Amino acid sequence: MVKSAITVSLVEAARGGPFVLWDGLEAGCKTAKELGFDAIEVFSLGPEQVDSDELEKLLQDHELSLAAVGTGAGKVKHGLTLTSASKEEREQGKEFIKRIIEMGGRFGAGAILGSMQGFWGKDVPKEEALKYLAEACGELGEYAKQFNVPFIYEHLNRFETNLCNRVEESVALLNTLGNDHNVVILADLFHMNIEEVDICEAFRTGAELIGHIHFVDNNRRPIGGGHIDMVSVSAVIKEIGYDGYLSAEAVPYPTEYEAAKQTIDSYNKYFG
């Protein structure tokens, strides 16, 4: 059975980005509990920003789980990517992500690789960048095994990366890692609306590898605020037997609370 989650950002420099709740972990947990979410997804500057004991208490007190943890601050704050021309920067990027994996692993939550995947370009040709990306995903997936969590790879739209933009490309990337790679795909409906010819067919293509979903409309507003056909999309999510989180990585429109409320109402409408 699918579960609901909502994003909580602790990165003030990213304010205005696609995260619903912005007023800290305690306030985020309170809102999530009040509205009936199953979990929160946390975007932080790094593990040093999150007091794990405090987070554990907040999750317990509000009867919530941790769905996933983001790693994007590695790029936003430190300028690190896994496909940098600099080997030192690539290694620093992996070490940053490993610390995020450790933080989330305590709570059974996987770490998400999104913007830290980087780009290919004149300094790093496409095939070389994809090789770096695949090697990093394999290494980080292996590292996550000790915490019994997957490593979560999110392909992005063409404006945010030129590496993998569609589900089929992510499947091809992960298939190069062998059968025991411990990496799953994050399917984000916002990115899918831009890049996929048929969103439902894309879900079928990635059925065996999709392990996390960002539940958001085509314009990055909460589901119901755009034109994605959620009748069809919810049907295919059920069809492929997906039983992970539907996590709202959406802009807080028109307000944080209203965005959270619209998200859970849409979740209950299609999956309740």
DSSP state letter for 21: B
Q: Which amino acid is at 56?
A: E
The H-or-E segment that residue 159 falls in is none
72-101 burial: b if 16+ Cβ within 10 Å, else e: bbbbbeeebbbbbeeeebbebbbebbbebb
Distance (Å) of CA 48 to CA 44, 79, 246, 251: 9, 17, 27, 25
- Strands, E, within the chain: which ranges? 3-9, 39-43, 65-70, 110-113, 151-154, 183-188, 210-214, 245-248
The residue from 41, 195, 249, 256 that is catalytic is 249
Cis preceding linkage at 47, omega within 30:
no
With tokens 């941790």, the residue in question is 66
Whether 201 sits among the annotated catalytic residues: the reply is no
Whether 195 sits among the annotated catalytic residues: the reply is no
Nearest in space to 145 (alpha carbons), one of 102, 93, 99, 92: 102
| CB 184, CB 219: distance < 8 Å | no
The residue from 41, 154, 195, 256 that is catalytic is 154
Active site residues: 154, 249
